């Protein structure tokens, strides 16, 4: 080899060594810089992540739905999107914990929260695939992801998961991580956590599951959709077999246990919580709870909400209202269209008239309007309804109330004019409709001595007609208000139940005009009647005369003390029920009479308890005397006479009761309100938009519903007497008052003009 070639080789080798040294140094610096940058990034990322906590803190923050219970402890509703019941480790059997660990993370108790080999394997797959294709999660990582992070598949989210998993492992015990994970995981069908999953799959708490059931719970965790025992039993069996095998291999169960577990049948039917439907009660309770604790607490803090509703009374109320409305539908032939347009031209012109009537404004949601049937979609089972300027759809299923004796709903034809209301509008402006074919009804029942609301019905269907008439509809009470007129006079010492007043024509000034109150026949008999007799006969002229003598202001004040909270116009038409009231306040006012003159606010919501057993709210049931007991006794006796021989003779329910019918002009509102010593209740019947009910009255339309309800609600309640005035005890029972008809049928308590003016002035609540 020449000297030149040798020198060249030497120079080349030196250059390579220098390059290697420089590369090594650069690598060291790069590695050090990477470590520093990584550490800074790790600390920065860790600082921005949420704090981790113990199981005790988790229980406070976990999303847990609230439950509503009736007075007897029956579950009637659950509020919240995630059905979860958080349980501590002590209530989760060891077999369930072992099964979850074996199925999801066999090395859970040995690794530092991260499966490094798994992460490397998943990272390699992600690089090959060119996307986030595979994860590698320990139980700690899964809990960190589901509890703290979003489900987006991005690298930064994965890095956060790793950092948070290490943070959890450093600050929280393994057992706490596992129990939080088992309360957090999703099992499908809206169920979260092992407690809800156990109740859903097996109909029992997780504390009672056997080995096979524990293995199935663990099997479902991996993929609730793929391994559901209801949708894919073969896959569920195979996955359960795998879990049992892993439990056996790791010594958690014996071979015999695994064999018995594999032989155990899968559940075939979901075990839903037995929720007793009481939609009107639930709607009212939800509104009150929201006011007291807010939406977040209601939906996520696992509250126990207790209400005064009695299941027997509520079922009786719903059945009585449903039966009563069916009778009204048959009587008023609500299945038939209002009219039928025979030609396309006639339909088009009618549609234009509907549009002109609304003056181009869209129809209000919930307000009854007319519509013309344009077509019927057989596949969708929906009618297309022309509302005049807009169209909506009415599903045939919404007509269930109006089925005939064979169970068939009414079948409308093209061109039929019917009454509907807009239930909702979708994003495209289309309207979903509800039928408004028949009148509505409301019922309230209150226990006088406690003021607990035992039953509540606000209409025919809470889903189709959600306006809560029992609580929100202010309607003229008609002759039911005469009770307060006579009560004010008796309390003032101006009259007794036996004070006699002549039924004669009298003219007063009302609203600046002469007004002559008329009785139901439009005439006056010229005879003197006791107030007891006048109430039993529902004589208008005497009620107005007593109001004139005592003063409308005192009548209004007496009614307010009894429980009427709505605005009352203190003038003479008030004596005939001209000012609107709600069913619940009228019921409560009569409950004051049944409670010997003691007033209390109606109580539906009795208690709210948080998930730690701490009371957040407890209703007060204090009663206050608002009238002398002797006045309440006198009114109770007079109202008993109304039932015994007056206009409410149909209210006999096999026990002493008292009450009063009420009917407004042209039967726009029909009432019966009454009580026994144990229960006060009221029934209202009418159209939401105040259509007249031909030949209707409180005695014919509302009283039968009331009687049906009271018979059923008080079926097993001991019979108690009503107060009777001393001077009538032991006297011969008076004969029934001869009545040609219900004294309020077609009553003309007020002129139509005056009644309409009062309704407009008082701005009565409409849906």
* Residues forming the active site: 104, 479
If you ran DSSP here, which 8-state letter would residue 505 be given? -
| Rounded-to-integer distance, Cα 543 and Cα 524, Å | 13
Helix locations, 223-305, DSSP H: 233-249, 255-263, 279-293, 295-300
Asked whether 521 and 503 are in contact (CB, 8 A), the reply is: no
User: Is the CA virtual torsion 472, 476, 480, 483 positive or negative?
Assistant: positive
Pairing of strands 500-502, 508-510: unpaired
| Rounded-to-integer distance, Cα 337 and Cα 328, Å | 16
Question: Half-sphere exposure of residue 337, counting CA atoms within 13 Å on the CB side?
Answer: 17
| Rounded-to-integer distance, Cα 270 and Cα 668, Å | 48
| Rounded-to-integer distance, Cα 63 and Cα 300, Å | 4
| Rounded-to-integer distance, Cα 41 and Cα 45, Å | 6
Question: Half-sphere exposure of residue 241, counting CA atoms within 13 Å on the CB side?
Answer: 9
Return the C-alpha torsion angle 109, 111, 112, 117, nearest 10: -150
Nearest 5°: the CA angle 387, 392, 395 is 125
Count the neighbouring beta carbons within 10 Å of the beta carbon of residue 32.
10
Element (H, E) at 186: strand 186-188
Pairing of strands 369-377, 339-340: unpaired
What are the angstrom distances between the C-alpha of 353 and each of 338, 375, 387, 581, 756?
A: 16, 19, 10, 35, 24
* Residue carrying structure tokens 């009414």: 410
User: Which value, in Å, is the radius of gyration of the alpha carbons in the chain?
Assistant: 37
| Rounded-to-integer distance, Cα 160 and Cα 141, Å | 10
**Which residue, 433, 438, 427, 437, is CA-closest to 384?**
433
| Rounded-to-integer distance, Cα 437 and Cα 450, Å | 38
Which residues, including other chains, have CB under 8 Å from residue 666's CB and lie 6 or more apart? 692, 693, 746, 752
């Amino acid at each position: 080899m020449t000297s030149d070639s040798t020198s060249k080789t030497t120079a080349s080798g030196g250059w390579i060594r220098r390059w290697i040294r420089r590369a090594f140094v650069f690598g060291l610096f790069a590695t050090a810089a990477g470590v520093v940058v990584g550490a800074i990034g790790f600390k920065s990322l860790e600082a921005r992540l949420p704090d981790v906590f113990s199981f005790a803190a988790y229980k406070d923050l976990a999303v847990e739905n609230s439950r509503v219970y009736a007075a007897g402890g029956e579950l009637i509703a659950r509020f919240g999107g995630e059905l979860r019941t958080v349980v501590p480790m002590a209530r989760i059997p060891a077999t369930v914990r072992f099964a979850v660990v074996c199925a999801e993370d066999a090395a859970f108790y040995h690794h530092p929260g991260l499966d490094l080999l798994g992460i490397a394997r998943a990272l390699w797959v992600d690089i090959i695939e060119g996307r986030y294709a595979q994860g590698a999660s320990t139980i700690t990582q899964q809990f960190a992801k589901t509890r703290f992070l979003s489900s987006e598949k991005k690298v930064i989210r994965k890095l956060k998961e790793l950092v948070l998993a290490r943070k959890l492992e450093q600050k929280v015990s393994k057992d706490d991580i596992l129990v939080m994970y088992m309360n957090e995981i999703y099992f499908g069908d809206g169920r979260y956590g092992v407690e809800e999953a156990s109740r859903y799959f097996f109909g029992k708490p997780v504390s009672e599951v056997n080995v096979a059931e524990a293995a199935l719970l663990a099997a479902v965790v991996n993929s609730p959709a793929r391994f559901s025992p209801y949708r894919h039993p073969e896959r569920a069996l195979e996955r359960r077999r795998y879990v049992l095998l892993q439990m056996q291999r790791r010594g958690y169960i014996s071979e015999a246990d695994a064999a018995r577990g594999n032989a155990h049948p899968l559940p075939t039917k979901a075990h839903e919580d037995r929720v007793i439907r009481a939609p009107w009660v639930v709607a009212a309770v939800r509104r009150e709870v929201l006011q007291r604790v807010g939406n977040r607490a209601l939906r996520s803090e696992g509250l126990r909400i207790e209400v005064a509703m009695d299941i027997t009374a509520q079922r009786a109320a719903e059945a009585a209202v449903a039966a009563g409305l069916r009778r009204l539908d048959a009587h008023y032939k609500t299945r038939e269209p209002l009219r039928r347009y025979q030609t396309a031209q006639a339909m088009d012109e009618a549609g234009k008239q509907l549009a002109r009537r609304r003056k181009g404004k869209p129809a209000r949601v919930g307000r009854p309007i007319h519509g013309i049937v344009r077509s019927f979609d057989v596949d969708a089972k929906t009618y297309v309804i022309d509302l005049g300027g807009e169209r909506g759809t009415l599903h045939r299923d919404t007509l269930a109330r109006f089925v005939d004796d064979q169970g068939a709903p009414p079948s409308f034809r093209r061109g039929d004019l019917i009454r509907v209301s807009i239930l909702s509008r979708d994003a495209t402006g289309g309207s979903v409709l509800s039928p408004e074919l028949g009148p509505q009804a409301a019922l309230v029942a209150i226990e006088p001595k406690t003021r607990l609301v035992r039953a509540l019905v606000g209409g025919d269907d809470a889903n189709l007609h959600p306006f809560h008439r029992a609580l929100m509809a202010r309607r003229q009470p008609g002759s039911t208000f005469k009770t307060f007129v006579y009560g004010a006079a008796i309390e003032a010492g101006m009259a007794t139940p036996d004070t006699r007043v002549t039924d004669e024509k009298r003219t007063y000034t009302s609203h600046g005009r002469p007004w002559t109150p008329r009785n139901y026949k439009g005439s006056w008999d010229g005879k003197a009647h006791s107030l007891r007799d006048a109430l039993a006969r529902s004589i208008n002229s005497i009620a107005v005369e007593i109001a004139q003598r005592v003063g409308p202001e005192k009548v209004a004040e007496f009614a307010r003390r009894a429980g009427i909270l709505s605005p009352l116009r203190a003038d003479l038409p008030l004596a005939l029920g001209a000012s609107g009231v709600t069913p619940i306040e009228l019921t409560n006012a009569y409950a004051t009479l049944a409670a010997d003159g003691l007033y209390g606010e109606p109580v539906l919501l009795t208690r709210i308890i948080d998930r730690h057993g701490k009371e957040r709210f407890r209703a007060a049931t204090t009663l206050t005397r608002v009238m002398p007991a002797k006045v309440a006794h006198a009114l109770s006796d007079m109202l008993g006479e109304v039932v015994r021989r007056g206009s409410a003779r149909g209210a006999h329910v096999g026990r002493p009761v008292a009450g009063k019918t009420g009917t407004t002009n042209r039967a726009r509102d029909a009432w019966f309100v009454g009580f026994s010593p144990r229960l006060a209740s009221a029934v209202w019947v009418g159209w939401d938009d105040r259509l007249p009910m031909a030949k209707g009255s409180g005695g014919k339309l509302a009283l039968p519903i009331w009687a049906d309800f009271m018979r059923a609600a008080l079926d097993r309640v001991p019979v108690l007497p009503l107060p009777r005035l001393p001077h009538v005890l032991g006297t011969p029972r008076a004969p029934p008052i001869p009545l040609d008809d219900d004294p309020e049928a077609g009553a003309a308590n007020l002129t139509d003009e005056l009644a309409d003016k009062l309704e407009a002035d008082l701005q009565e609540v409409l849906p």
